[in-house]
């Protein structure tokens, strides 16, 4: 089974071959590294940028406004905060131009803790992202969802922020992606660059098929009757584990994976909370101004 980094890489390759993606760029995104988590290794349209987050966002906006599809990456979300005004501008452009201009591009950035990244590589961006007008925001918890959400993001006419949970980038899935070889060893040999000299290496891409996860649609990962847990990203694994442990004690807990932070699947949440009458919102972000507070307020109301 592919891990999340491999799934994102294959989705981006599909985008290059089938969806008109012409530029994938950011710090260390191109050769030889292919991204700090190797999610862009071997892709033909990648290139490296200077260490300049504002420049990366500005280039993405310009490319998108020129009518080309691109994917940009901020190496870690910890360094995205000096671009907030540009992100607001990108999200507002369609509205302020009366529909004459749009800025549809995908912005990837790793988020969250779990890799011993200390203070500069462990921040969350969930709640900040949810307050960016005009943006769609997704965060997968499985490789299959990462693949499907990326395909949908590449096809969307809005700017989409693709949050990559750092702690899940090497976690393998439980289902094969379309066209993925059954052997993990075979997949690694096909699309993972070797350690050392990579000057002559080229990937041998599997015949990748279509697989889309609609933006704005969550999923139930555990069904239950006594309590609803609403979560996303890395915390889905913890919540699933907790639900399984509670099941051994005779308790029935329902877990919802948001998958999309905005727009979020309110109908799925509402239906579950109406059934269980109890709800717990779990995420990695700070307590104050947490996006979960908004969901909690709405659920209570």
- List active site positions: 121
Alpha-carbon gap, residue 291 to 230, rounded angstroms: 12
- CA-CA distance, 161 to 195, in Å (whole number)? 30
Q: Is the dihedral of CA 210, 142, 126, 251 positive or negative?
A: positive
Residue (of 298, 300, 283) closest to 141 by Cα position: 283
How many CB atoms within 10 Å of residue 113? Answer: 16
Rg (CA), the chain: 19
The C-alpha atoms of residue 180 and residue 177 are separated, in whole angstroms, by 5
**Residue 4, both tokens:** 């999340």
Q: Round to the nearest angstrom and report the end-to-end CA distance of the chain.
A: 42
Report how far residue 143's alpha carbon sits from residue 6's, in angstroms, rounded to the nearest whole number.
8
Q: Tell me the torsion sign for CA atoms 161, 42, 179, 36.
A: negative
Residue indicated by tokens 């599909």: 14
* Nearest-angstrom CA–CA distance, 202 and 267: 45
Q: How far is CA 295 from CA 44, 261, 290, in A?
A: 41, 10, 9
The three-class DSSP label of residue 162 is strand
DSSP 8-state symbol, 256 = E
């Amino acid at each position: 089974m592919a891990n999340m980094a491999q799934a994102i890489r294959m989705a981006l390759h599909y985008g290059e071959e089938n969806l008109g993606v012409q530029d994938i760029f950011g710090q260390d995104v191109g050769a030889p590294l292919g991204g700090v988590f190797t999610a862009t290794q071997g892709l033909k349209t990648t290139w490296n940028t200077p260490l300049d987050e504002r420049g990366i966002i500005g280039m993405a906006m310009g490319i998108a406004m020129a009518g080309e599809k691109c994917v940009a990456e901020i190496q870690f979300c910890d360094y995205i905060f000096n671009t907030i005004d540009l992100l607001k501008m990108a999200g507002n452009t369609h509205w302020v131009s009366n529909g004459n201009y749009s800025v549809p591009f995908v912005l990837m950035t790793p988020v969250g803790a779990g890799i011993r990244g200390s203070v500069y590589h462990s921040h969350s961006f969930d709640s900040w992202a949810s307050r960016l007008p005009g943006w769609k925001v997704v965060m997968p918890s499985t490789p299959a969802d990462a693949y499907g959400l990326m395909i949908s993001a590449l096809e969307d006419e809005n700017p989409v922020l693709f949050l990559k949970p750092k702690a899940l980038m090497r976690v393998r899935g439980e289902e094969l992606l379309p066209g993925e070889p059954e052997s993990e060893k075979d997949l690694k040999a096909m699309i993972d660059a070797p350690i050392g000299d990579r000057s002559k290496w080229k990937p041998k891409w599997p015949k990748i098929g279509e697989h889309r996860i609609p933006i704005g649609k969550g999923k139930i990962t555990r069904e239950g009757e006594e309590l609803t847990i609403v979560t996303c990203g890395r915390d889905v694994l913890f919540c699933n584990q907790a639900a399984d442990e509670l099941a051994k004690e005779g308790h029935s807990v329902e877990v919802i994976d948001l998958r999309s932070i905005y727009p979020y699947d309110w109908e799925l949440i509402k239906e579950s909370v109406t059934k269980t009458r109890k709800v717990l919102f779990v995420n990695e972000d700070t307590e104050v101004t947490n996006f979960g507070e908004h969901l909690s307020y709405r659920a209570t109301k």
